[in-house]
């Protein structure tokens, strides 16, 4: 269990160090600043408009459910075809 914790904490520390080192580049700093500002504006917008937030989340969940449903149907069809093929070879 201790090895698992060491592994993940090392990955997080490495990512933080890598991110800080990348800020030595001026373009990376500018990009980071822009992204933080855009994120802040987005969070503020959704905090001020909770009805829109709920609608966006609801639409996202519905889209996700539709994609999962379609892919599960495709997977089941593929498995049915594989099963049919295997049964033909076994006969």
pTM score over 0.75: no
Summarised one tens digit per residue, pLDDT across range 50-66 is 999 999 999 999 999 99
> Is residue 77 very low, low, confident or very high in pLDDT (cuts 50, 70, 90)?
confident
Q: How far apart are CA 44 and CA 55, in angstroms?
A: 16
| Mean pLDDT to the nearest integer, 18-45 | 94
Across 8-25, average pLDDT: 93
**DSSP 8-state code for residue 1:** -
pLDDT of residue 1: 67
Per-residue model confidence (pLDDT) at position 91: 74
C-beta of residue 52 within 8 angstroms of C-beta of residue 46:
yes
Rg (CA), the chain: 24
pLDDT band per the 50, 70, 90 thresholds, residue 74 = confident
Q: Which residues of 48-81 are buried (b: 16+ CB within 10 A; e: fewer)?
A: eeeeeeeeeeeeeeeeeeeeeeeeeeeeeeeeee
């Amino acid at each position: 269990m201790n090895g698992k914790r060491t592994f993940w904490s090392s990955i997080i520390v490495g990512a933080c160090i890598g991110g800080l080192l990348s800020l030595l580049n001026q373009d990376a700093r500018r990009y980071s600043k822009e992204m933080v500002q855009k994120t802040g504006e987005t969070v503020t917008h959704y905090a001020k408009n909770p009805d829109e937030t709920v609608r966006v989340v609801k639409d996202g969940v519905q889209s996700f459910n539709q994609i999962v449903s379609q892919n599960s149907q495709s997977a089941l069809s593929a498995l049915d075809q594989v099963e049919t093929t295997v049964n033909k070879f076994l006969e």
